[in-house]
């Protein structure tokens, strides 16, 4: 008996077979007995399977069978909608065509996100939502002060003006002997910042806290890792109501890289993920979150000693639920003596910046990858002499690299420096100073707006460091003078900046309130004011 052909009542009726031949009467129920097929009788001539279509039993409804010349012929439901942005398929339970969009509309604003590596709305992108985690951003939306590109023209808060706020800074490492910032991000779903910082409470402890400046301050301080050992805060990313951070600790003797996700109450969503597990230290993680076509993914990089010879930069992909995708990936060759990697997502490439050995002293190296850490580009030497605390920022389809200089006697130089690269590393804007010469300048943070960037940095004027900001063109020319962000005469340095809920830019920094005691971690912000370009002023 051929698969898919049933001994059907229509055959019984047609040939008048009876139960003596082993067939049961239609509708009767009895113990199974061997079924004798027509060909066994050799009375029907050529093998016969069916008289009508109903005699043929399809395997699934997407492969119906028809009776043609007394044989069951399988057919196929063709499902083609000629739309390259759908996956065409047939539902075998119903036999109906399914045309599943390749890209998600997670924020349910009616606009889909583009495929990874495509700009929103680009030919073949399958989506034109420039921010699929916010329904307040979509093509044709109304621009407002909120840190988002509401109208998807590639520019955040078009024409907005930023001013220093009068509110006093919020002390985050209260009760600790000492603190230093790790990272700050903003969760649009929860409307709060997420910050991680290291505070010294006997041992060094990576600590997570939410900050809601307008609701009066910070959430409870939560240890990132509950281990009886030093942990050091790393970067943090956030989207929706999920924050993710990576850090290093030595719970297993050797410093390794760990990763975990938190909700906005600071509760861990899973056990800590140990990302690296090899001889030698693994240090200084850099983390970013990427939308995929229908979900999200995390990319991590760090410096790793496992291969000797000065080590190399390793990377790891982690899926949206926090599980590793394959193993650790070698991102640089051995021999560059690389350290302090920074990864960033551009429009078509992932950029990797790292400190490396130079013919004299230290320099900066750059390379790029596709969005899965594949297709590595060549290693490019960035024009930077003895840089420290270098960053890489995606702005308008290009990468901005900035740093401060370390002089021969280890003191910082007098300015913050920067250059602009294409997403594959070609120099587009030559290295230039981003700030006027001060006695010393060190540490900075850049917030990209698409048509400009806002630089935060610390410089020494008179008797102490303070934090300043200014706006830069995409080619890194100053748009305005430096403005003081922190209190005049009060020590403040090492700013880390991120957009916040009302378009203000939050700044996590190291400071000594009243210039007394050990350095602590504080938060302040600058406000966004609607400029004349706003169609919907706040």
Q: Is 128 in the site for Ca ion (CB under 5 A)?
A: no
- Which residues, other chains included, contact 407 with Cβ-Cβ below 8 Å and sequence gap of 6+? 386, 413
Question: Nearer Cβ to Ca ion, position 159 or 175?
Answer: 159
Q: Does residue 129 touch Ca ion according to CB under 5 A?
A: yes
Backbone phi, psi, residue 92, to 5°: -65, -20
CB atoms within 10 A of CB 478: 15
The window from 62-70, 149-157, 205-213, 520-528 that contacts Ca ion (CB under 5 A) reads 149-157
Note whether 422 and 400 are within 8 A (CB): no
Residue 132 binds to Ca ion (criterion: CB under 5 A): yes
From 24, 126, 137, 441, residue interacting with Ca ion (rule: CB under 5 A): 137
Strands 170-171 and 236-239: unpaired
Q: Which residue is nearest to Ca ion (CB)?
A: 129
Q: Confirm or reject binding of residue 151 to Ca ion (CB under 5 A).
A: yes
Q: What is the DSSP string of 181-221?
A: EEEEEEETTTTEEEEEEEEEESEEEEEEEEEEGGGTEE---
Token code pair at residue 453: 């960037």
Taking CB under 5 A as the binding criterion, the range among 124-132, 268-276, 386-394, 518-526 that sits at the site for Ca ion is 124-132
131 vs 393 by CB, closer to Ca ion: 131
Among 55, 157, 230, 459, binds Ca ion (CB under 5 A): 157
Among 125, 150, 210, 386, binds Ca ion (CB under 5 A): 150
Can you give the three-state secondary structure of 63-102, one letter per residue?
Answer: CCEEEECCEEEECCCCCCCCCCCEEEEEECCCCEEEEEEC
Q: Report, in Å, the least distance between residue 527 CB and Ca ion.
A: 14
With respect to Ca ion, which residue has the nearer C-beta, 363 or 500? 500
- Could you tell me which stretch among 123-131, 358-366, 397-405, 473-481 binds Ca ion (CB under 5 A)? 123-131
Q: Which of 245, 287, 289, 291 is nearest to 266 (CA)?
A: 245
Taking the least distance from each CB to Ca ion, the nearer of 144 and 284 is 144
Stretch that binds Ca ion, among 132-140, 207-215, 323-331, 336-344 (CB under 5 A): 132-140
146 near Ca ion (CB under 5 A):
yes
Length of the chain: 538
E strand segments, 231-386: 231-232, 236-239, 242-249, 256-262, 273-274, 282-291, 296-304, 312-319, 324-330, 339-345, 350-357, 362-369, 380-382
Report in angstroms how near the CB of residue 126 gets to Ca ion at its nearest.
Answer: 12
Q: Site map for Ca ion, 96-115, x if CB under 5 A?
A: ---------x-x-x-x----
Interface residue list for Ca ion (CB under 5 A): 105, 107, 109, 111, 129, 131-132, 137-138, 143, 146, 148-151, 153, 155, 157-158
């Amino acid at each position: 008996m051929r698969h898919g052909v049933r001994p059907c009542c229509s055959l019984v009726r047609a040939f008048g077979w009876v139960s003596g031949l082993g067939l049961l009467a239609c509708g009767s129920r009895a113990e199974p007995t061997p079924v004798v097929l027509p060909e066994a009788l050799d009375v029907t001539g050529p093998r016969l399977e069916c008289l009508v279509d109903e005699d043929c039993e399809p395997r699934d409804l997407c492969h119906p069978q028809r009776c043609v010349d007394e044989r069951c012929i399988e057919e196929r439901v063709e499902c083609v909608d000629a739309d390259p942005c759908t996956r065409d398929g047939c539902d075998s339970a119903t036999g109906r065509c399914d045309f599943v969009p390749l890209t998600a509309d997670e924020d349910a604003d009616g606009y889909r996100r583009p495929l990874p590596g495509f700009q929103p709305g680009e030919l073949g992108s399958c989506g034109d939502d420039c921010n699929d985690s916010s329904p307040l951003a979509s093509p044709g939306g109304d621009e407002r002060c909120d840190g988002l590109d509401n109208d998807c023209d590639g520019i955040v808060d078009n024409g907005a003006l930023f001013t220093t706020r009068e509110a006093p800074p919020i002390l985050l490492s209260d009760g600790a002997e000492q603190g230093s910032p790790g990272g700050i991000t903003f969760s649009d779903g929860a409307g709060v910042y997420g910050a991680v910082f290291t505070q010294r409470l006997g041992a060094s402890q990576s600590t997570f806290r939410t900050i809601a400046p307008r609701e009066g301050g910070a959430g409870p301080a939560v240890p990132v890792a509950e281990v009886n050992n030093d942990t050091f805060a790393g970067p943090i990313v956030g989207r929706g109501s999920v924050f993710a951070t990576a850090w290093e600790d030595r719970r297993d003797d050797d410093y390794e890289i760990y990763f975990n996700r938190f909700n906005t109450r600071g509760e861990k969503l899973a056990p800590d993920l140990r990302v690296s597990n090899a001889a030698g230290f693994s240090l200084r993680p850099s983390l970013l979150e990427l939308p995929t076509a229908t979900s999200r993914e995390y990319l991590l990089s760090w410096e790793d000693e496992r291969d000797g010879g000065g080590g190399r930069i390793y990377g790891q992909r982690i899926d949206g639920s926090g599980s590793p995708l394959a193993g650790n990936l070698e991102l640089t060759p051995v021999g560059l003596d690389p350290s302090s990697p920074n990864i960033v997502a551009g429009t078509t490439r992932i950029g990797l910046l790292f400190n490396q050995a130079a013919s004299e002293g230290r320099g900066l190296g750059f390379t790029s990858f596709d969005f899965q850490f594949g297709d590595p580009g060549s290693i490019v030497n960035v024009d930077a002499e003895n840089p420290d605390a270098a960053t890489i920022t995606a702005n308008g389809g290009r990468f901005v690299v900035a740093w401060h200089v370390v002089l021969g006697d280890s003191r910082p130089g007098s300015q913050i420096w920067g250059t602009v690269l294409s997403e594959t590393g070609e120099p587009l804007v030559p290295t230039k100073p981003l700030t006027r010469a001060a006695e010393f300048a060190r540490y900075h943070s850049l917030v990209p707006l698409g048509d400009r960037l806002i630089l935060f940095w610390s410089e020494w004027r008179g008797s102490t460091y303070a934090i300043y900001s200014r706006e830069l063109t995409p080619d890194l020319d100053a748009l305005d003078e430096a403005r003081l962000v922190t209190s005049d005469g009060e020590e403040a340095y090492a700013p880390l900046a991120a957009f916040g809920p009302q378009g203000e830019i939050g700044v996590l920094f190291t400071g000594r309130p009243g210039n007394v005691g050990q350095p602590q971690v504080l938060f302040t912000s600058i406000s966004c004011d609607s400029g004349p370009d706003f169609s919907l002023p706040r």
